[in-house]
Chains A and B, each alone.
Chain A
């Protein structure tokens, strides 16, 4: 027993001095301003680039506290936006181009959120926009979304998105159920599509900001995409571009397989044009229904599902909305 105390007692002043210096060094490392400069300066930079007032574009965060000492917020400042400098290039990361990801949300899938978090595009350049219907299902989706957002925005700094906007629809959805079979019934299509476009327009026009370079429409049931989705699509440098959308399913033999899902990306055909000419002015053509055969070239059917594919898709005249990226869609 007395061996250990004797060993401690035998320590000479030099060891104690060295130990003291070491601990001082540790303390200096922990509390030195240089070690904190990294974290505080990014926070400071983020803070300085944020809007000074809550009345600001929803694509950027705003400063929570009043900047004046009086505690009362001064009137909003005069803000200049240099839209001539707004670029849409094939290298958006290097040019720090802001992307707005828009999603009409009727049901919240954790897979969707995880896929979103896995995107490799810098999250500080991504703003998110959601619109949810005011139904029971919509309320549940909103609550789940808010929980996921709270977790992400309080989590690690590099995973946080620049800004998130949640909108609630100001009109009733035309069909109550969001089940796939119900949604895809042909007689429901026109009302459903028209309500969809109202929701999309509401979302787009109120969230697109003066510094938004790209808009990515990503449906809430997209649960798997390459992490480099944004970089891949923007690299083609097209005003509007859409990838193919497939669905994984269990085939007859019970094994996992893939099949085309989105039939709304197509090249027009003469049959379809003739069909359209005969229709009443307010009727719409819908793709993917056998009693309205258009014989259009569907992008979903032209996909090469074998390994090692990497091909540029041809121009499409109609666009599927699955996940479409559009550069500055306010042109006309």
Chain B
């Protein structure tokens, strides 16, 4: 109705409230009444159309919320501009044949998933992140996935803090791709210290729990875009920065380097660490046939003498690092596998698969499904050396021995000093005595000269005290012999414990 009044003035001229009446205003006096009627009819039609149209628009706005929001977004774009930002992508399309993995993945921008299972690993994290920063494979192509389980220390908080720092690094080459931290407890009973981890009795159940953890990690973190999966333990101390490229270049389905660990000099300087990478032997197959269906063979323990050729023992420090060796079981310290191996269903069996579990079972299953499994005997990664209880006891003994030796040395030095002092004292005494004696002898000579036939017994006593020097040297010699004997003893102990180490993993 407002519109009707507003629109009733023709040509925008001011009209009175009675402007539409039959009274003739002076400036419209030339119009005929017929044409006025036609104009008014047209106006009325327009007004009706406008009213109907606006009512229809109102109905549409009231009853169709989607239309309303569309209109609203048009009006409010300048004010809120929220709808434009709230766009979600819900559909993803991937061709898996583009993510098969090739020898030169870094050139083809192939994505790698780096998986690291963690448990009470706070102390290893700084070392691990130093490795991460040094990787030469393009960081933005590597997705990191961590599974933190049953940790009682600050592993989780330290991990997320260090990862956040890494992602916010000002150097654009540092930040990695997708980062997932999965928290999942399995209620592990086995302690994570070296002794209980490597005890024979604990192995089978421990390996099954580890397998479960690895499967959870992989299934939650593997994406269609991944071409490679790299399993890496956080307690690797030294590894080439180019390890991903080095392993990738071989273009194998599953590949592992050799894993050794450095040792203190008294234990021989170095030692094979990962005994889970091996080639199958007839003895082991025969042994497997005698075992119960659910039994699990664990390598590296005297209880199961398998006589398998181990990757670790075949290392030659000067050998060709590119030399390959076909293996059947793999160790989990550093595995590079093509993602399609995992995509086709190979996993870490948490049950007895061909009498093996976890990474060894993974190797067996990969082989069974026709994938290539290869080890590099002369390409070495160094695992952190964590002294065992025996080692610690032995080191304590050595430390005590060292202290004893030091104390003895000190005592000996003191004794020598004392003796020397005693020796020096008699020296000065001797000088004194000498002068005294000389004085006396002079007197005596004088006396002799006076008495003529008297002998000097004091001179002979002076000669005896001069012989005390060599006696001190003699006292020193037995002490030295004793120390040498102890050194020989500790060398024997060293040899023994080296033998003992070889039996462990």
Contact = CB atoms under 8 A, between A and B. Distances in A.
B405 interface: no
- Which of A4, A164, A210 has the most chain B CB within a 10 Å cutoff? A210
Interface string B35-62: 0000011001000000000000010011
A331 B68 CA distance: 49
A62 B224 contact: no
B289 to A, nearest CB: 13
Contact of B75 (A31, A80, A82): A31
Contact of B94 (A47, A82, A168): A168
B471 interface: no
A213 interface: no
A320 interface: no
Given A83-B184, A164-B91, A44 B86 contact: yes
Contacts of B350: 331-332
A82 B211 CA distance: 19
Nearest to B208: A332
A53 to B, nearest CB: 7
B343 A153 contact: no
A65 B87 contact: yes
Nearest to A211: B220
Interface stretch (B159-167, B260-268, B329-337, B386-394): B159-167
A206 B176 contact: no
B185 to A, nearest CB: 6
B343 A206 contact: yes
A153 B91 contact: yes
A57 to B, nearest CB: 8
A63 B1 contact: no
Interface residues of B, number: 74
Contacts of A76: 167, 175-179
Contact of B220 (A63, A165, A208): A208
A44 B83 CA distance: 9
Interface string A153-193: 10010001111111111100000000000000000000000
Given A30-B61, A55-B178, A202-B343, A163 B223 contact: no
A134 B95 CA distance: 9
Contacts of B82: 40, 44
B222 interface: yes
Contacts of A79: 178-181
B342 A43 contact: no
Nearest to B350: A332
A256 interface: no
Nearest to B61: A30
A36 B61 CA distance: 12
Given A54-B89, A81-B182, A332-B215, A36 B69 contact: yes
A153 B176 CA distance: 32
B183 A80 contact: yes
A169 B343 CA distance: 11
Interface in A29-46: 29-31, 35-36, 39-40, 43-44, 46
Contacts of B164: 78
A71 interface: no
B220 A331 contact: no
Contacts of B90: 61, 153, 160-164
A202 B99 CA distance: 12
Contact of B2 (A16, A29, A61): A16
Given A8-B4, A63-B87, A77 B179 contact: yes
B86 A210 contact: no
A167 B183 contact: no
B65 interface: yes
Contacts of A53: 178
A270 interface: no
B132 interface: no
B138 interface: no
Contacts of A62: 88-89
A78 B72 CA distance: 36
B143 interface: yes
20 contacts: A5-B20, A16-B2, A26-B61, A30-B62, A31-B72, A65-B87, A75-B176, A76-B175, A76-B179, A78-B179, A81-B180, A84-B183, A161-B90, A164-B91, A165-B224, A166-B94, A168-B95, A205-B343, A330-B220, A332-B351
Interface of B: 1-2, 4, 20, 40-41, 44, 58, 61-62, 65-66, 68-69, 71-72, 75, 82-97, 99-100, 140, 143, 160, 163-164, 167-168, 175-185, 211-212, 215-216, 218-226, 340, 342-345, 349-351
Given A65-B84, A205-B342, 7 more contacts: A40-B86, A81-B182, A84-B184, A198-B343, A204-B219, A332-B215, A332-B349
Q: Which 3 A-B pairs have the closest CB atoms?
A: A75-B175, A201-B345, A55-B178
